[in-house]
Structure 1
Amino acid sequence: MRSLFNARDFAITQASAAALLFFSIPLLNIIGLSNHKLESVLHGLGATITVIMSCQVIHLVYPMLRGKNGAAAKLEWVLWLTNLMVLITIVLGNWLYPAYRGVDGAQQWLMYHKPEVHLIIMEYKEFVSLYPLPLGIAAAFLLRRFRYALEPGSAVSGIIALLITLFWICLLIGLAFGIGLAKLKMV
């Protein structure tokens, strides 16, 4: 007997539910007590979309590593789009940053109530969140330069995979710490 649902149906349902819940995280900031809701929501949505796109990028690494035809070109295209989203998210974060550092901002609240949290999490998050852009650009440049010469198991494909993995890890750290800071004190 044939099943009512196939693996594709379950995957689409899972992805839809995850996307809905993931996108609701920054949108919940609308009901918060912030004076900078627009900046916060845009930065949160940018970070969320960027992490989702980076998950697609890391999944596209596997066909490239196996040497599948056209995989490097597809990976490069999605990686450039993700790099653009990383840049937009960084710009939106910098738009929000003056409010964070301002009088009665989150930094002042954190320094007064939880100075160790600010020194460890925020300072670390600020720097780690900037790493994905050069990592992603380096990976995309290497893909552009060597995409027709990539062989399964080659050193260049391994370096590209490593750069993309670090890119993805840094984005996840930035998102997780950003959500944690937002929960501590909404800007």
Structure 2
Amino acid sequence: MKSMFTAKDFAVTQASVAALLFLSIPLFNVIGYSNHKLEAVLHGLGATVTVIMSCQALHLTYPMLRGKQGAAANLEWVLWLTNLLVLITIALGNWLYIPYRGPDGPQQWLMYHSPEVHLIVMEYKEFVSLYPLPLGIAAAFLLRRFRHNLTAGSALTGIIALLVTLFWICLLIGFACGIGMTKLKMV
């Protein structure tokens, strides 16, 4: 007897539910007490979609490492798209950073109540969140330049996989710290 559902059906359902739940996280800012809801929602949605896309890019490194035909081109396309999303999210984050640093903003509140949290969470988050752009561009550039010469197990595929992995790790750290920051003080 043939199964009613295939593994692909379950995988697509799981991915869809995860994406829906991920995308709903920033929308909770709409019901918050912020004076900067638009900036917060746009930055949160940008960060969420970027993390989801970076997960896809990380998963696309495995076929490239195995030498599957066309895998490098697929990974390159997703990397360029994710790099664009990273750039947009950084721009939106800078838009949100203005009221953060403003008078009576969250930075002053954090510096008064918990300066170590500000130094560890916010400063580290802002620093590590800028790394994905050069890492992603470097990986996409290497793929563009050498994608026809890639072989399974070569040093170049390992370097590209390492760049994509670091890209993903930095985005995930920035995302987690950003969610943590929203819980500390809402303006």
Name the TM-score, length of structure 2 as normaliser. Answer: 0.98
Gapped regions of structure 2 (runs ≥ 5): none
Describe how 1:94-173 pairs up with structure 2 within 5 A.
94-173=94-173
Q: Deviations over 1:66-121 (max 9, x none)?
A: 11111101110110000000000000000010110111211111111111100111
Looking at structure 1, the residues matched to 38 and 157 of structure 2 have their Cα atoms a distance apart, in angstroms, of 40
**Hey, what does 1:83 align to over in structure 2?**
83
Amino acid at match of 2:60: L
Q: Does 1:184 align with 2:184?
A: yes
Describe how 1:19-30 pairs up with structure 2 within 5 A.
19-30=19-30
Post-superposition offset of 1:3? 2.3
**Hey, what does 2:43 align to over in structure 1?**
43
Amino acid at match of 2:62: Y
Looking at structure 2, the residues matched to 44 and 186 of structure 1 have their Cα atoms a distance apart, in angstroms, of 14
Post-superposition offset of 1:132? 0.1
Q: Deviations over 1:111-141 (max 9, x none)?
A: 1111110011111000100000000000001
State the secondary structure of the residue aligned to 2:168: helix
Looking at structure 2, the residues matched to 16 and 79 of structure 1 have their Cα atoms a distance apart, in angstroms, of 21
Name the TM-score, length of structure 1 as normaliser. Answer: 0.98
Q: Which runs of 4+ in 1 moved over 3 A?
A: none
Q: Deviations over 1:18-47 (max 9, x none)?
A: 111101100000000000000000000000
Larger CA deviation: 174-183 vs 9-18: 9-18
Gapped regions of structure 1 (runs ≥ 5): none
Count of equivalent residues: 187
